[in-house]
Amino acid sequence: MATADMHHRRLCFAFAVLIPALGALPAAVHGHESVALRGRGTDAGQQVTGLPSTEEIERELLAAINKERAGRNLAVLRPSRALTDLARSHSAEMARGNILSHESSDGKSFTDRLAEAGVAFAANGENVARSGTFVADLIHQSFMESPGHRENVLNPDFDEVGIGIVRGPGTSCYVTEDFIRRLVQKPAAEVRALVLGALNEKRARKDLPPVVLIDEVGRTADAFAAAKAAGRELPPVPSLFGKTAVRLAIGPELAQVIGVIRESDLTGYGRAGIGVAFSRGPEHPGGAYFICVLLIEDSRSADPEVKSIGISTLPLQSEDGGRLEYAVAVILGR
């Protein structure tokens, strides 16, 4: 029988904190496992003529994946042209070198390839295989018999997939299945409206009036968010704002980032500015939102002695095991 060698990689970014590990891993971490499975299908002496096209095998594998997910009440995966291009390119490279690896010849990981292609994502995973069969159902069955590959196929967090098949030497073929949870960047104005709605919802529960947005404070909050996204030192808060407080939250999952902002103590602060930035970086390869809420004390009397802001960062553990970088500061510099 022909041999199917397989690898899987599970990469998730829960609030963009990377946790490297080896072996079969739970959600919200990333890792790598390799196994050798026995494939069933084309024998070594069988001729390659009359085999289905690689595009046909890709379509059949997609159908098999979605049938598997639908049978378990999981959302089916959308095919992605960008992921398909990446998967085909990686399979072609493995075929040229007759190797099986998640890393490219230049040492780039799947995460690196996604970032280089400009794909925004909150989680990703990859299955690769070298197969002696061109029968999609048998390739899929081999993936499902391996715990790590099965985890990627059935991961409820993923919503897009790209599949790339390339013929190798003799009767072999190389298979790459690339999975992501797509991160769709929302316009800054829409994000501000969502943050404002969350803040006012909490204030309404405490019988407080809605937050009043101030344009100049908003521009300062935008500068804070942009500086944090670029890894720069935060600028000082203008002294004319008086006593202020800052809530800064960062992560790829907008709903969860806003959830942390919502939990801020708004007592005594009725005016604000909301700053929004979206950026990639080593800590956030798939992209992340940087949201800053600059709060102004209810009292309209400005304190001219307040000159600067100090920011302290507190890493918080989320319920799903990920981490959210959450910074809180009260302006007391004089």
Summarised one tens digit per residue, pLDDT across range 267-285 is 899 999 999 999 998 889 9
Check whether 329 has a pLDDT greater than 70. Answer: no
Q: Hunting for tokens 């960047």 — which residue is that?
A: 185
- Predicted TM-score (pTM) of the model is 0.74
214 neighbors 272 (Cβ within 8 angstroms): yes
End-to-end alpha-carbon separation of the chain, Å?
77
Check whether 124 has a pLDDT greater than 90. Answer: yes
Nearest to 110 by CA among 128, 135, 134: 128
The span from the CA of 64 to the CA of 205, in Å, is 48
Nearest to 291 by CA among 161, 196, 204: 196
Summarised one tens digit per residue, pLDDT across range 94-118 is 999 989 999 998 999 999 999 999 9
Q: What is the mean pLDDT of residues 317-321?
A: 50
10 neighbors 152 (Cβ within 8 angstroms): yes
258 neighbors 194 (Cβ within 8 angstroms): yes
Where does the pLDDT of residue 8 fall: very low under 50, low under 70, confident under 90, or very high at 90 and above?
A: low
Per-residue pLDDT, 324: 54
Residue 193 φ/ψ, nearest 5 degrees? -65, -40
Query: What are the distances in angstroms from CA 103 to CA 17, 95, 140?
Result: 21, 13, 22
pLDDT over 90, % of the chain: 66
Summarised one tens digit per residue, pLDDT across range 10-58 is 433 322 222 122 122 222 223 333 333 334 333 333 344 567 899 999 9
DSSP 2-26: -EEEEEEEEEE-BTTB--B--SS--
Per-residue pLDDT, 170: 80
Where does the pLDDT of residue 169 fall: very low under 50, low under 70, confident under 90, or very high at 90 and above?
A: confident
Cα 13-251-79 angle, rounded to 5 deg: 50
Per-residue pLDDT, 4: 53
Where does the pLDDT of residue 321 fall: very low under 50, low under 70, confident under 90, or very high at 90 and above?
A: low
Per-residue pLDDT, 24: 23
The span from the CA of 33 to the CA of 24, in Å, is 6
Summarised one tens digit per residue, pLDDT across range 51-79 is 789 999 999 999 999 999 999 999 999 99
Work out whether strand 269-281 and strand 284-297 pair parallel, antiparallel, or are unpaired. antiparallel
Cα atoms in the 13 Å half-sphere on the side-chain side of 16: 28
Nearest to 247 by CA among 163, 141, 135, 325: 325
